[in-house]
Structure 1
Amino acid sequence: MIKLEETLIENPVIAAIRNDSDLNKAIFSNAEVVFVLYGNLMNVKDICEKLKAAKKIVFIHLDMIEGLRGDVFGIEYIKQYADPYGIITTKPTNIRHAKQFGLCTIQRIFIIDSLSLETGIKNIREVTPDAVEVMPGIASKIINIIQNKVKAPIIAGGLINNKKDVIEALSSGAVAISTSSSELWNM
């Protein structure tokens, strides 16, 4: 089993894919970690198999898979059928369930105000995901606050469109960034 934090530090740009075109670009990119942000119950296995054949570390965003119910049975289905390395979710209960099946977990949180920041930190402390994705990823002040309050690697995601955004997020304390801008996947 890989050590997630070390892998993210060594490969700080994560390919976040939203369609089959992105899938093909990610397969041939330098990005070692891929976040699958699309799919359905019928094609998620194929997407994972293609990425794993290209030696990519695959995370499926449970909340974005069509036809999948985010409960213990849905997560068990993903584990048995698609067998990704891990999952991404905004739902703390999904983190708990995914851990039961030995999946690596990433809690995605959206910070829009001080209440969402407090709630996010509380949830992270309760469910202890393996990593946290903070959105928007260009919120360097928020990344620094969260990094100082929780003991999980921070991934910045959302609105990261250029090299400057990548450097700023990493300088703020994120260990990696996720982006759908394929031109950044080969940094």
Structure 2
Amino acid sequence: MRGIIECLEENPIIAAVKDDSDIEYVLKTDVKVIFMLFGSILNIKEYVDKLKRNGRRVFVHIDLINGLGKDEEAVKFLGKIGVDGIITTKPTLIKAIKNEGLISIQRLFMIDSRSLETGIKSIIEDKPHAVEIMPGLASKVIGRIHEQVHIPIIVGGLMCDKFDIISALSNGALAISTSTRELWNE
């Protein structure tokens, strides 16, 4: 985990790629950490290999890969194809991800005060390596979670401009994940 934190401290923008053209585009940027938000069991290895050959750290959102189960066997498969880590909304997968020696990122959607409370409880119980909070514009929530848990916080969703990035980082986020290409070079 230490290497990824240093990488994100140097360049806190994470490219959240949604299609083939995003992969081609991101390879022309300085972004070092990629969140794969698309693919299938038939092509995910090809994408991971391409990004890794080009010096990128690759995290696959297991919930978004077509044809891949959301279970321990899927985690093992992703580990075997060389991903650095796995993103999931399913707290039950965190242990399996960590058991494979991969970095676990738990994605949480903050929609109301109850989701904030259950999210903090889940982080404390499941102990992922990092948490991704969505939407990223929830600066008060970022600060509150940052005060209560001591793991890296990544924020994503609805990040529109440099001001959003600065706000999130100043409220305790380590990094920003965004699919907005214009922000990948900020």
Q: TM-score range by the shorter chain?
A: over 0.9
Q: Runs of 5+ in structure 1 lacking a partner?
A: none
Q: Give the structure 1 partner of residue 113 of structure 2.
A: 114
Deviation of 1:58 after TM superposition, in Å, equals 0.5
Name the SS for the 1:69 alignment partner: coil
Deviations 1:41-82 (A, max 9, x none): 0000001011001100100000000011111111111111x2
2 CA distance for matches of 1:67 and 1:73?
12
Normalising by structure 2, report the TM-score. 0.97
1:133-148 matches, cutoff 5 A: 133-148=132-147
Q: Give the structure 1 partner of residue 158 of structure 2.
A: 159
Deviation of 1:27 after TM superposition, in Å, equals 1.4
Q: Give the structure 1 partner of residue 48 of structure 2.
A: 48
Q: Give the structure 1 partner of residue 103 of structure 2.
A: 104
1 CA distance for matches of 2:34 and 2:170?
22
2 CA distance for matches of 1:95 and 1:83?
17
Deviation of 1:83 after TM superposition, in Å, equals 1.4
1:36 alignment partner AA = M
1 CA distance for matches of 2:29 and 2:64?
23
- Provide the aligned C-alpha RMSD in A: 1.0
1 CA distance for matches of 2:2 and 2:151?
16
Name the SS for the 1:34 alignment partner: strand
Q: Give the structure 2 partner of residue 169 of structure 1.
A: 168
Q: Give the structure 2 partner of residue 27 of structure 1.
A: 27
1:153 alignment partner AA = P
Normalising by structure 1, report the TM-score. 0.96
Identity of aligned residues (%): 50
2:126 alignment partner AA = V
1:170 alignment partner AA = L
Q: Give the structure 1 partner of residue 7 of structure 2.
A: 7
Deviation of 1:3 after TM superposition, in Å, equals 2.5
2:112 equivalent to 1:88: no
Deviation of 1:5 after TM superposition, in Å, equals 2.1
Name the SS for the 2:60 alignment partner: strand
Name the SS for the 1:67 alignment partner: coil
Name the SS for the 2:83 alignment partner: coil
Deviation of 1:94 after TM superposition, in Å, equals 1.2
Q: Runs of 5+ in structure 2 lacking a partner?
A: none
Q: Give the structure 2 partner of residue 124 of structure 1.
A: 123
1 CA distance for matches of 2:165 and 2:63?
25
2 CA distance for matches of 1:4 and 1:126?
23
Deviation of 1:175 after TM superposition, in Å, equals 0.9
Change (3 A) 1:140 1:63: same
- The number of aligned residues is 186
